[in-house]
Each structure stands twice: as structure tokens, then as C-alpha cells.
A and B are shown apart, each in its own frame.
Chain A
């Protein structure tokens, strides 16, 4: 369907192009001579050949030859040709126009082939990198678990209590790492399935933000987290679970990639029917050349600590997109990264009503 549509458009452009040039040159035939018109038409066919496929170009070649013969070669308005020179010229015109079309389209075919090959190589390279990092991320914790448990099973008698304790801890930490990775991969496949439907419900944005912050208490214990939400912030309709996960991933990222002591400030506002949440830190920020790819799947900054697949922020973006919202990241003037999430959401100001009055509303 798509193909025939574009194909039809190509034949149409070929015919229109030739007719237009013929029509434009017609009034000037007396001045420039009908033989120059042949060159103009030939030029038109060449230009068309640069953009169109083979068959539309052949159409242009045929059509222009016929038009030249009919409208320009005397006697006009017949296909009859008197002059031998004109016969030769018409024949030559025909051959050159056809060759032109065939050669150009062959060049373009090879160009396309080369481009496709290049793209394939790039995909292959990307796949290789991903596959390597995925297998590394999966195998490392498994290796730790297998190694540590093997040790405990077979060499138990030779291990000190302290060694055993360390092995148990390693098993535990590796399992947590696998668990996080699994969650991210599952979330990613949930997003890619295209079936993710946010379940919108009234949310207290402060509760939402603090739920994410509190669940990272351990990871953020060396960071200075500040939350600022204006008193007149309404309730907004969002998917609490998805948004909590979205914020969690940004905060987890900040906890992991900014040094201890970094300040993280989180803000929320309701402006222009949008819930706007910002998360800013005064850490090192993102490398400038990476700013555009921060939300891409498997993006990992070159200076990032090893470990991790680069899925967290792409999942955040996915969950924000699912709300028809937008997310962007920038480096702040004074240093540090700043994420801004904007989500179109309904608001409800019931939370600003005095508690006694509110009691009467509900009953």
C-alpha cells in the first residue's frame, strides 16, 4: 500500500516535471530554437533521475521525447519529422535520456546498498556492545553466587567464621544486583510491549516524592536531600506506582553517580495544567556530548562507575511518556544535572480545604 502510494507519486512527479518544463519553454521556442528545448528537457530528465526510481525516469524520458516531437519539431502538432537532422536528434535524445535514467538509478542502487551495509554494521556493533554488557552484568553476580556457595559447600571446614560471613554477604549483594537488573529488564519489556496503560488516580505529590526518597534512604544517606513543594500544590491525577518508579530511578542514579555530600533538591509545581517535578543536584553533571542520549536505552556515560546496564533513565522516560508527559535533562549553570518532568494532569484542590470543613464534604 505504502509502496504503491509512493510509486504513484513518483510517476506523477516525473510527468509533471517534464510537462512543466515543456510548457515553460514553449513561449520561448522562437527565441531559443526548438533544438535547445531538447537540451532543457534532457536536463529535466537528468534532474529527475537523481531523485526518482528507474521506471518513473523512463516514463519521463519517453514522455519528453514524445512532447518534443509533437509540440516543438516542425511540423508542429504532428509526430511527423521532416528534417533528417531532427530524426537523428530525436533518436539520440531518446537513447541519451534512457541511458541517463538507467545509469543514475544504478548509481543510486549501489549507494543504497552501501548505506544499508553501513547501518547493518552499526547495528551489529551496537548489538555486540549490548550483548557483551548484558552478559557481563548477568554473569558477574551469578559467578559470585556460584563461587561463594561452592566454597561454603565444599571447603566449609577450612573456612573461618569471618570468611564465611563475607561469603554470605557476597551472595546477598550479588542477588540484590541480579534482582535490580531483573526488575529493570522486566520494566523495559513492559514498556516495549506497548501495552503499558497508566492507571490514573489522585496523588498527593508530596507523598509520591517522599515515598521514592524514603525507599532510597540507605543509598541517599550521604546526600543532602531537600524537597520543596509550595503550600498550594493540588492533588494531581497520575499513576502513583509508575511515577514513583520514574523518580526512584533518577534519584538512584544521582545517589550512585554523584559524590557523597552532594545536595539533591526536588521540587514540584502545578503550572498550566501540568504537574512539573524537578530533580537537581550539584554533582558533576553529565558530559556535554552525552546530554542528548541520557534517556536512550543502554546509555552509559564514559566516566560512569562500572556496573549497571544503562536502563534506569530510559525506563523513567518510558513511564513519563506513558503519561503523555515530557522529560528533559540539562546541566545547570553552577554545575550539576537538573531533570525536569512535565506531565499534563488533572488537579484537585480538596487538600487545601480546612480539615473540619472537609469532614462535611465527604458525608
Chain B
């Protein structure tokens, strides 16, 4: 995982400098681009393992760059932007961004998100059994165990947990979850999602009120942390 190449597309030189120092200090290789056009060229010439993309670029809106990238680029893209409106974040995630960090960000947080995005993109599907601390998910047997004891989950709860856990570390938008689990007709029926998240937390969390597995991203969606 280390020595992964990360392309930073950001017009602010100080931010690029900060990222270069941070990333190099953690054994990543960084390449950079100061505009959207430059970024697209750089990504095509030497496809990086991950892209950090700013939304406020001088030549083109970051959302457009993301759409253009996603036409062919499958590796993770993390948005790094000063825009913190829910609509910007949801739009970027729905357009295929893997994650979204608002500037100012903590470098620790950034590194954790980069690592989890890379892990997710490089995961091997060899083992059907996933372990997250005291929680074990067996995709082959369709069972979930907590502290070795089998949990009784309804089929919807099971599908929801599997979807979240298979995207460990990544924010899934409300819309995305509703579409995947309940179907396209249910994308506005967020009441189902609220109810099932509540039920799942009661079953898998030690303290459902201080969840450690299923984290709330206010107004955006949910993120599963292993």
C-alpha cells in the first residue's frame, strides 16, 4: 500500500506544499497539478493510485473534472474542498467521489481516509469472512456474530449491514443506500433508512448512542468503520 502514487489537483500552492510534506512523510509519492486541465492530463499520462481533487479550480469546476475523470478512472478520488455545503458533498459522492474532506482538515484524518480508500480499492475478495473487532460478518453463511454469538438480523438489516461493511471507511449517501437496498422507487423514503440504522445499531453496537461501527455523516449519509 505504501509508495502508492497520489495526484493532487489543487490551485493553491501552499496546500500542495503541505500535502507534499505530509504525504512524503508517510511514504506516499505525490504528483501535482494546479488546474483541472493539467490534472486530467497528468492522470491520463501516469494514472495514480489515488487522486485528491479540489472543487474550486480556476479553469473548470471540480465537479466537472470529477465526472470527466470517472469516465475512465476507477481508482479512488477524494475531494478536498473548502466548500462544506451538504449539496456539494452529496453531489460529489453521487458523481463517484470515494470520500470528501472539508478544508481545513486534520492531516491525521486525511491520512486515515486515504488509507481506507486505498484498502477498499485494493481489497481481495478471497475471504467471505470479515472481522471488525468483536463483530464478524460471514458473507458465505449469511451470518453475523457479535462476541462469537450469532445475531438475529432481518434480511433487510443484513443487506444494509453488508452494504455498509463492504464499503468500510467510505461515506454512502442516503440516496445510494436507499437505491441499493430498497430500489430506485425508495430514494426519497429516508424513514426506512433511519429506522433500520437505529435497529442495526441496537444489535451490533455496544452502545447504540455512541456508535463505533455505523457513523452518522450529518445530512449526507453513513460511514462504516471497522
Contact = CB atoms under 8 A, between A and B. Distances in A.
What are the nearest 4 A-B pairs in CB distance?
A: A241-B219, A202-B191, A359-B154, A210-B209
A63 B194 CA distance: 73
Contacts of B191: 202, 235, 348, 350-351
B190 A362 contact: no
A356 B154 contact: yes
A241 B190 CA distance: 15
Contacts, number: 67
Interface residues of B, number: 23
B182 interface: yes
A293 interface: no
Contacts of B199: 355, 358
A227 interface: yes
A69 interface: no
B182 A363 contact: yes
Nearest to B207: A210
B17 to A, nearest CB: 15
Contacts of A274: none
Given A235-B191, A240-B219, 5 more contacts: A175-B104, A244-B218, A355-B199, A362-B186, A363-B182
Contacts of A214: 209-210
A235 B195 contact: yes
Contacts of B155: 359
A363 B218 contact: no
Contacts of B3: none
Interface in B43-96: 86
B219 A207 contact: no
A210 B218 CA distance: 12
A235 B196 CA distance: 12
A211 B210 CA distance: 8
B219 A239 contact: yes
Contact of A355 (B157, B210, B216, B218): B157
A296 interface: no
B192 to A, nearest CB: 5
B110 to A, nearest CB: 15
A348 B198 CA distance: 14
Interface string A308-352: 000000000000000000000000000000000000000010110
A10 B42 CA distance: 74
B156 interface: yes
B218 A240 contact: yes
B197 interface: yes
Contact of A207 (B157, B196, B216): B216
A133 interface: no
A323 to B, nearest CB: 14
A227 B86 contact: no
13 contacts: A202-B190, A202-B194, A203-B194, A204-B195, A211-B216, A227-B209, A235-B191, A241-B86, A348-B191, A353-B195, A359-B156, A359-B157, A362-B182
